[in-house]
Amino acid sequence: MDALSVAAVVCPVSLVVAYATGALLPCRGPHDWLVPDALWRSPPRTVALTFDDGPDPVGTPAVLDLLRRAGATATFFLIGERAERLPSLVRRIAAEGHSVGLHGWKHQSMPLLTPARLDADLARCAATLESLLGSAPRLVRPPYGRRDVRVYLAARRRHLTPVMWSFDSRDWLPRSRADIARRLDRVRSGDIVLLHDGLPRRAAMLDAVDALLDRLRAVQLPSVALRPPSGSGALPPTARSAGA
C-alpha cells in the first residue's frame, strides 16, 4: 500500500470535514506533501499562464489571439460539458501548441463527490477530450482548487498529474484592468498563474494579460505550456497570494 492509500485510510476525520464544509482551499495541506508529482511551479526561467473554466465561445478565442500575437503558449483546463459543445475550439487550443487539461465535467467541488461520482466525472471529461484531440490529457486541475486525498488517488489511478498554482490573479473578482495589471506585475519566474477565460467580465482580464505578455517578452521570460513531469517533482511551495 503506497503513501496515498495509507493516508486515505488513516485520515477519515479530514475527509468527513471536507464533505461537511467543502472548505478545501488552494493552500498547502498534508495531502499535497503525499503527491510529489503535483505541479505548483513552472520550470526555471519560465512563467506558466493557465486558464480555467473554458472553452468559452468569446473569451477563449480572445485569449488565443493574445497568445499567438505574443508567441506564447499556455495551459487550458477545460470543463467537459463545455468542450463537448465547442469541439472546434478545443482543437484550436491544441493545434496552436497549448496544453489541455481536465477541469471536471461540470465544475463541481470534487471532494464533495462520492468516490463513484468522482471517478465518473474524471472519466467522462477525459473521454470527451480524448475523442476531440486524439490523445488523453495528462493534466488535471480540481475546480476551485479543492482537493483531498481521494481526489489525488482518483487522479493517480487515471495517470493524471494534478496542477495547482503559485500565483492567483484574482481575475474572477470585479476589478478594473489597472487592478488586475498591478497584481500581475508581481508575477515572477517559476510562477504558475491562475486565470480564467470563461469569465463574463473578461475585458479587464484580457487587457491585463496583454500587458503581462509584453512585460514577460521584454525581460525574456517565456510563457510556456505545462507538461506532465517525467519523474517526481519538488514538494509544493506555499502559493504566493499577496493582497492587491
Residues carrying an active site annotation = 52, 196
Residue 78 dihedral angles phi and psi, to the nearest 5°: -105, 145
User: Using an 8 Å Cβ cutoff, are 171 and 198 in contact?
Assistant: no
- Type of residue at 211: A
Q: Do 110 and 86 meet the contact criterion of CB atoms below 8 Å apart?
A: no
Q: Which of 37, 34, 91 is nearest to 226 (CA)?
A: 37
Compute the chain's Rg from CA coordinates. Answer: 17
* Cell numbers 472546434: residue: 88
> Nearest Cα to 40, choosing from 239, 215, 243?
239
Contact between 94 and 127 (Cβ < 8 Å) = no
Quickly list DSSP for 54-85.
E--TTHHHHHHHHHHHHT---EEEE-HHHHHH
Please name which of 125, 119, 150, 149 lies closest in space to residue 139, comparing C-alpha atoms.
125
